Amino acid sequence: MTTRTDNDHAETGAERISDAEHAVMEALWKRSPQTAAEVCESVCKERGWSIPTVKTLLSRLVQKGALATQPDGRRYLYTPLIARSAYVGTESKRLVERLFGGRAAPLFAHLAQAEALSEDDIAEIERLLREMKK
C-alpha cells in the first residue's frame, strides 16, 4: 500500500462516501494524521462501533481514494485526500441539483419556512450578499 497524492480522486469519480464512512472522514478532518485506534477513540463511543468496523471503513475509504496512508512502524497513519470543503460543496450541490433543479433560492426558501434560520444565520447571509454585490 503506497501513499496516494491525488487530491481530487474521490470527488471527480463516481465513488460516493457513505454515511458511516463520512463519520470517519469527519474525525480525520478534525485531526489528522491518525491511526485506526485513534480514529476509533474519536468515534466508537458515540457511534457504538468497535475497532474492526473502523478498520473496515478506513480500508474502504483508502480504496475509494479518499484517504492516504503513511506507514508508521507496522501501522498506518491516515490522512484525508479530499478537503472537507470540497466534499461539503459537492454534497450541497448534489442536493440542490436533485431537489431544486440546480437553483439555490428554493432551498433557502425551504429552510426559511422550516424556521431553520437563526438571526445569526440571517445576519451572516446578509453580509455575504453584500459581499457578492461588490
Partner DNA sequence: GCATTCAGATTACAGGCGTAATCGTACTGC
Partner DNA sequence: GCAGTACGATTACGCCTGTAATCTGAATGC
Least Å distance, CB 70 to its own copies, is 27
Which one of 49-57, 81-89, 98-106, 122-130 is the stretch in contact with DNA (CB under 7 A)? Answer: 49-57
Residues 67-86 that bind its own copies (CB under 8 A): 85
Residues paired with residue 55 on neighbouring β-strands, in sequence order: none
Residue 32 interacts with which of its own copies, DNA, none, CB < 5 to 8 Å by class = none
Q: What are phi and psi of 90, to 5 degrees?
A: -65, -45
DSSP string, 4-50: P--TTHHHHSSPPPPHHHHHHHHHHHHS-SB-HHHHHHHHHHHHT--
Closer CB to DNA, 50 or 103, in the complex:
50
Residue 83 interacts with which of DNA, its own copies, none, CB < 5 to 8 Å by class = none
Closer CB to its own copies, 41 or 91, in the complex:
91
Report how far residue 46's alpha carbon sits from residue 16's, in angstroms, rounded to the nearest whole number: 23
Residue from 11, 21, 27, 82 that binds DNA (CB under 7 A)? Answer: 21
33 contacts: CB under 8 Å, gap ≥ 6? 70, 77, 78, 79
How many residues touch its own copies (CB under 8 A)? 38
Q: Is residue 27 at the binding interface for DNA, with CB under 7 A as the rule?
A: no
